[in-house]
């Protein structure tokens, strides 16, 4: 599923939450339902070990819809960090799709805020997400993007990402390979030999 080559060195990786770092439970306000996706802890550990800053940028329209409170979202985010380690600054858009805010992805607001909080230029940030809105927010902010599709990712989102030169990879491990360099990407995509 890999397309594209290694990205120039990133100083920060900004992660989407639902579907990217955790198995998506729509409008989840229960920390007990938080399940990291396969490889999430390892991916974050590799970035931390390499000195790459991280942050979370998450649309949570359930707050605007009255389905969640901000306290519940914060509790879910805290549980995620218990399971995968520190994520760095956390940015949440509480608005609904029709609110016209500057923060809800695909608008660039949270990406720009996260870059500023980390002291990193947006163009040295990579946004990792599972849907077109994540890619759109990255591109609108001048950051790079990596798309890690899930069953809810629409085919046209994958096609649009590829057409824009955005790498599309199978999992978080491969996304981090891209962020950390070409050698790791070659290792990740090389055919495995049986022993």
Q: Residue positions in the annotated binding site for Mg(2+)?
A: 16, 18, 130
The one catalytic residue in 18, 24, 30, 171 is: 18
Residue 182's CB is within 10 A of a number of other CB atoms, namely 12
Return binding residues for Zn(2+).
93, 95, 101, 103
Task: Tell me, yes or no, if 16 is annotated catalytic.
Answer: yes
Query: Can you read off the two tokens belonging to residue 46?
Result: 């590799």
| Residue numbering of the annotated binding site | 16, 18, 93, 95, 101, 103, 130
Neighbours of 16 (CB within 10 A): 23
Say which residues have a Cβ less than 8 Å from residue 102's Cβ, sequence separation at least 6.
Answer: 108, 109
Q: Considering just the CA atoms, what is the radius of gyration of the chain in Å?
A: 16
Closest CA to 174 of 147, 135, 141, 142: 147
Distance set, CA 9 to CA 28, 123, 126, 178 (Å)? 34, 10, 9, 9
Q: Which residues are catalytic?
A: 16, 18
């Amino acid at each position: 599923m890999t397309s594209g080559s290694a990205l120039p060195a990133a100083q920060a990786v900004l992660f989407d939450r639902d579907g990217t770092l955790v198995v998506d439970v729509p409008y989840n306000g229960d920390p007990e339902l938080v399940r990291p996706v396969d490889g999430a802890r390892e991916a974050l550990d590799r970035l931390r070990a390499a000195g790459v800053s991280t942050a979370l940028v998450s649309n949570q329209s359930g707050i605007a819809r009255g389905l969640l409170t901000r306290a519940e979202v914060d509790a879910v985010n805290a549980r995620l960090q218990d399971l995968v380690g520190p994520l760095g600054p956390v940015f949440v858009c509480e608005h609904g799709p029709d609110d016209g805010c500057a923060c809800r992805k695909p608008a660039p607001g949270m990406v720009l805020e996260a870059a500023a909080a980390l002291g990193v230029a947006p163009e040295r940030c990579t946004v990792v997400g599972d849907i077109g809105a994540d890619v759109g927010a990255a591109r609108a902010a001048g950051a790079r993007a990596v798309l890690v599709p899930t069953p809810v990712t629409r085919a046209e989102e994958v096609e649009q990402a590829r057409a824009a030169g955005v790498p599309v990879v199978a999992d978080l491990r491969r996304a981090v390979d891209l962020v950390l360099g070409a050698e790791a990407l070659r290792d990740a995509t090389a055919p495995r030999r049986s022993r």
